[in-house]
Each structure stands twice: as structure tokens, then as C-alpha cells.
Structure 1
Amino acid sequence: MARTRKRKRKQSSGGRIGCLMLVLIAAAIGTAGYFWYDWGIRGPADKAVSVSIPEGASLTSAARVLEDKGAVKSARNFLRFAKLFGSEAPIRTGEYEVPAHATGAQILEMLQEGKVKQRFVTIPEGMPSILVQERLMKEDLLTGPVAVPAEGSVLPDSYSFERGEPRAAVLKRMQKAMDEALAEAWKARKPTTVVKSPREAVILASIVEKETAVADERRTVAAVYSNRLRIGMRLQADPTTIYPITKGKPLGRRIRQSELRAVNGYNTYAIAGLPAGPIANPGRASIEAVLDPASSRALYFVADGKGGHVFAETLEQHNANVQKWYKLRRERGEM
């Protein structure tokens, strides 16, 4: 009887130890699963988190920033899993937009590949350089001064930048883009173009850019000015008269007769040929238009009242179109 009781007590004790071991194993698995869930399945952030990793930051200090911002549950466990499962590539500094519920593995990949948050500054077609400079200076997340770039040296487009990037660096990319776009367009120029150099192409394209915002008209407007240049006829483009007065900004009033008669390097009412330089930063389409103008003998154009223009080959036709335009403006109460 005594032996039987001892055997039962041993079995009972062994059972308790076994149960305890199972509980401990289950707890360990549960804990590991909890942290693995954070690393490999679903992160804790309910919304996107902006995280800035400063210059010279280590993975350890970056992990603390991630924990402070709520991108990871635990900096310590993020580091443990990073060492176990991540690569040894260094992290890169910058500002990151960590998506909602991004896993630790995804965050580490972002930091190592430098997938920083991208912001954009947009330069529209036809923007003069004085306004390009003002736009760059208004971007508070950029740093350092920047001078007014040479007119016609910037390619209109949207450019990405990072927080703290120098304005001069962004401008340099804009100007490099123009150099590359102009070189590519120049190689594809047609024999019908009247311009003799890439610079002349930019000058004429800047006039076309300011004269029409209708894409389908660019090549015809380019043809009008090309035809005038071929026969020695003055371009008589209003934007070239305005440029010396405002440097490309809106005039805000009608052009005065004295300004139309002013002799300077830009006023094409008073001088023959192209102006001394570009009057804005033209886009790719306008550059391509002057390098491949439409097949047209038109020498004149005037607004049609619908946002576009009507073109004419003779002065008589043009004067008739002008009268129609004036009549429409009078009916609208604009004259």
C-alpha cells in the first residue's frame, strides 16, 4: 500500500512538472509569436508615421526614434530581429514616411535602401526665371539661398526633393534636365525649322509658350513666327515687349504706345529678328514645335474668343479676324 501511494505521488509530481513545462513552452511560443507578428506580419502604427533619421545615426538610435514615433512596439526587439533576419547594409539618413502597419522587416528595408519621403516642387511651362527663384525660396523645407537662374535654363516639370536639401541642388537638377531635353530635341530637329542653334530654339520656343496655352496650336504659332523670320518681317509679339518691363511677371495693364516703340533687345515691335534672349522657360512641347513647325503659310493670328486663335495668311484676312474679335469683346462688355 505504501509503495502504491509513493508511486502515485511520483506520477502526480511528474504530471505537474509536465504541465508546467507545456505552459512555459506555450508562453515562450506566444511571446515569440507576439514579437514576430510585429516584425514580420503587421506593425503597430494605425496610420502613416513620419520619421526623420539624422546624419550619423546608428541603427540603435534609429530604433529608438521608431519606437518614440510608434512605428515599432519595441526598439530592443526591432534590433534583435534586425540582427537575426536583416542584412548588414547600413541605414541611410533622411525623412521617411512609414506606412500604416508597416512591419519591422519593411521598415528596415526602407532605411537600408534609402526610400525617403519625396516632396515635389512644380515649375509650370512658361514660368519666367524670376518666379522660379521665388518658388524655390518659398519652399520652407529647402535650405540655402539661390539666385535667379538664367532665363530659359530651367525645364518646366515637377522635381522631387528631400527635407533640408539645398535649393541650389534642386535648381541644378532643373537646369540639367533642360540641357538634356534641349540636346535630345535638337538632334530630332526637322529641316523646316528656322532656328540655327539650340539657344535660338529656346528663345523662339519661349515666345510660342507665352502666346498660346493650346497644345494643338503650338506648331502653327511656331510656323507663323518662323515664316516672319524667313521674310524679315518683325515678330511683333506682345510678350517680348512686356519682358523688359516686368522680367516675365504679368504686366497687369495694357501695353502703352511708348512701350511698343521702345528700342531694346527684346521689343520685337521695334527690332527685327529674335529678341536678345528667352522671355520665359519653355516646355518640351514648345521647343519641339519650333524645331518642327506646322506646314502653314500663315503670318498672323488673333484670339478667337474661345481660348484659342484664328490664323491668316494675308493682312486683309487678319484685319477681318481682328474686327470679329473686337465685336465679340464689345458684346461681352470688355471694350
Structure 2
Amino acid sequence: MSKKTKAKGKGTVIKVILLIVALLIVLFLGLIIYANSLGGNARDSGSKTMITVAIEKGSTTSDIGALLEKKKIINSGSAFKLYTAYKRLDGTYQAGTYALSPSMTASEISHILQNGKTNDITFTIPEGYTEYDIASRLASIGLVDKDQFVSLLENGGFSTEYTFLKKAQKGKHNLEGYLFPSTYTIPATSDGDFIISTMLSAYQKVFTDADRAKAKKLGYSENEIIIIASIIEKEAAVDEDRAKVASVIYNRLDDGMALQMDSTVQYVLSLSSDRKKDLSIDDTKVDSKYNTYKYTGLPPGPICNPGRASIEAALNPAKTKYMYFILSDRLDDTMVFSTTYKQFLKDKEAYYKARDKAESKNN
């Protein structure tokens, strides 16, 4: 091979190398420009929708990008990952619950996730609240529109995600009993769907497989245990009485007696009017399957949303022969229990006498 040919060959190789280098530089610059542009582009700049996103602890940038894409906040999880890598933000995002919008750019989203700060609101749902009580409470603090929230409660179709609801009562009271009472901290922009899901998820964690096994051993379903727990919640004001109230319920069920629980009638009345201080004879005759004066057995569904203490009592009733109970004449919210109707009448008379005396003294 001549020197001229060799030189020509070397020149070709150098040109190819230079071309490859040039292409790599162009590609690199293009990626930089593209990655940088991602920070300023939003999926939908005109959107006013806020979407709640929960970033779990230990989530990678890929996990976060995929979640944001799934929630339709960004167009591409891969592009978000590229932007994060370019800005050297990997590992800087904080776990938490965020309210994000498709109108936000990747730069804005990254800044929010880095700071780990959300505008949160804390609210408490007490034990014994009905689903409508919950709607009123949330509306009073401006979290929801009451009518819209009630519509969601009655027609939301949450049983697809929360399968335990498939064995609960059917119809518009499907969620009653399963909106777990607790203190919650959520983004201020959370919608009704998110709030309900949060409460159902809390119940899902509280009622365990061990509880289901215990319910089965007692001969009752999960839904029946929650019904019993809801009655306990409304009847017993102090923890020490819960297991004994549970024993009365089970003893009456075993004996085929009507439960005759005032709380079940009060629930019926609350659906159309206000609860009463004392029930009349006519009240106990109201025609509803929830009326345990008129119908034997358990009502068709829970009468409130019980807390863990009442669920525990329903699963672990005291071993007694009690068939009756009424508030104590000590007027301290405790109960007195009895095995005979005769003793119950004496306890009842003592309670009302003490209450009337206290009320007349206060007046």
C-alpha cells in the first residue's frame, strides 16, 4: 500500500471519528435542551384540577414519574426522570401526600416534592358518628359541599376497591360502619372521594385477618360484628361497660329475644328528623328493619361508625348472664346490668328518679 493510500485511509477514519463526536455533541446538547425544556412544560397549562398524590417512603424517581403519569399530572414518567437526572435531583424528593395539578411544570412539581411541604388540614371524626354526621362535620369546616358529599357516600361505588364492602349492606348505606373514626391530616385541596377513601383505608388496616378469624369463631360475619360494635358504640358511654353491653346483645340473640336497643330506633329517627332525649311508645313501633323493638335479630346494617374499642368489645364480649342494662342512678354515664326484668325495672326507676331530681335542682 502506498503512503498516499495510507494517508487517505487515516483521513477517512479521522473524519468518521470527528463526525461521530460531532453527532454525540449534537445529541448531548439536544438532550440538555430537551431536558431543560421539560422543566417549563405542563401537561395542561389551563387545568384548574388539583389531584392528590401520595409519595411513599423509599419511592425512586422512576416510581414517582410513573405515578405522576398514571395520575395524568405529567405526560411522561420517563421524561420526568430525565429532567430529574439532568437537574441532579435524584434522591431529593420527600415522601408525603401532595396536591398537584396538570397545570404545573416539572420544575414546579420538583420544587414541591423537594420541599416536602403541603397545605394540610386536620379534622377529627368522633366514634359513633353516622355517615351523615360526618358529612355535616366536614361541610362545617369547609372541606366538602354537604349535598355532593352525601351523594358520593350513597352512590360512590367504593366496593370495587374495598372488597369488604361487597359483604356489607346493599344500597345507599353501604359505607355506614366502615368510615373509621379518627383524626386525619390531609391536603386542604382533597376532594370527597379522597376523604372517603382515606377513612375506608383506615378501617381496612384496623379490622385485621385475626379479627375475621375471631368473628368466624363467634359464628358471625365481619359485617355482623360491625353492626354489633355500632350498637355498643351508641349504648355504652364508658369503656368498662362495652364488653358487658356486648354480652347482653349476644345473650339476647342466643335466646331469640328482640334486642330492644334504643339506639337503633334513634338511628331510624335521625334519618328523617332529630334524635330524641327519650323514646315514646309510638317511637318503638316505627316500621323499620332497624327497629330492634319490632324486629328480632340484628338490624340490616351498622347504625354508626364504631371505634376500635367497640369493635374489640364485639369480638370479646364479657361472659355474663345479663339480659338488661340501663344508665346508673349515679348519673356518671356508667351502666347497671341485670339478669331479670324485675331488677331492670327497679334500676330504671332509680335512674329516672335521680335524673329528674338533678334536672329540677338545676332548674
Would you call these one fold, judging by a TM-score over 0.5? Answer: yes
The answer for the alignment partner of 2:334 in structure 1 is: 308
Q: CA separation of 1:287/1:334 partners in 2, compared to 1, >3 Å: closer, same or farther?
A: farther
Provide the C-alpha distance between the structure 2 equivalents of 1:220 and 1:122, rounded to a whole number of angstroms.
28
Provide the C-alpha distance between the structure 2 equivalents of 1:218 and 1:247, rounded to a whole number of angstroms.
25
Provide the C-alpha distance between the structure 2 equivalents of 1:259 and 1:143, rounded to a whole number of angstroms.
32
1:232–1:273 CA contact under 8 A, matched in 2: yes
- Structure 1 stretches of 4+ with a deviation exceeding 4 A read 86-95, 108-111, 141-144
Per-residue CA shift, 1:27-81, capped at 9, x if unaligned?
A: xxxxxxxxxxxxxxxxxxxxxxxxxxx99xxxxxxxxxxxxxxxxxxxxxxxxxx
TM alignment of 1:58-97, pairs within 5 A: 87=89
TM alignment of 1:107-256, pairs within 5 A: 111-112=113-114, 114-140=116-142, 145-146=148-149, 147-148=152-153, 150-184=175-209, 186-187=211-212, 189=214, 193=218, 196-247=220-271, 250-256=274-280
> Which segment is superposed worse, 251-260 or 119-128?
251-260
The answer for the alignment partner of 1:317 in structure 2 is: 343
1:329 aligned residue (355, 360, 363): 355
Give, in angstroms, the shift of residue 267 of structure 1.
Answer: 0.5
2:128–2:306 CA contact under 8 A, matched in 1: yes
- After TM superposition, the score normalised by the length of structure 2 is 0.59
Identity %, equivalent residues: 32
Provide the C-alpha distance between the structure 1 equivalents of 2:257 and 2:143, rounded to a whole number of angstroms.
48
Provide the C-alpha distance between the structure 2 equivalents of 1:140 and 1:207, rounded to a whole number of angstroms.
30
Q: CA separation of 1:269/1:203 partners in 2, compared to 1, >3 Å: closer, same or farther?
A: same
Provide the C-alpha distance between the structure 1 equivalents of 2:317 and 2:272, rounded to a whole number of angstroms.
25
Provide the C-alpha distance between the structure 2 equivalents of 1:251 and 1:227, rounded to a whole number of angstroms.
27
Per-residue CA shift, 1:99-129, capped at 9, x if unaligned?
A: xxxxxxxxx9985152424321211100000
Please give the secondary structure, in 1, of the residue aligned with 2:142: coil
Please give the secondary structure, in 2, of the residue aligned with 1:131: helix
2:215–2:221 CA contact under 8 A, matched in 1: no
Provide the C-alpha distance between the structure 2 equivalents of 1:285 and 1:185, rounded to a whole number of angstroms.
16
Write the letter of the residue equivalent to 2:226. Answer: V
1:192–1:292 CA contact under 8 A, matched in 2: no
1:292 aligned residue (316, 319, 324): 316
Unpaired segments of 5 or more residues in structure 1?
1-53, 56-85, 96-107
- After TM superposition, the score normalised by the length of structure 1 is 0.63
Give, in angstroms, the shift of residue 285 of structure 1.
Answer: 1.1
Provide the C-alpha distance between the structure 2 equivalents of 1:263 and 1:140, rounded to a whole number of angstroms.
36
1:202–1:282 CA contact under 8 A, matched in 2: yes
2:180–2:307 CA contact under 8 A, matched in 1: yes
Give, in angstroms, the shift of residue 89 of structure 1.
Answer: 5.6
1:242–1:248 CA contact under 8 A, matched in 2: no
Provide the C-alpha distance between the structure 1 equivalents of 2:217 and 2:238, rounded to a whole number of angstroms.
22
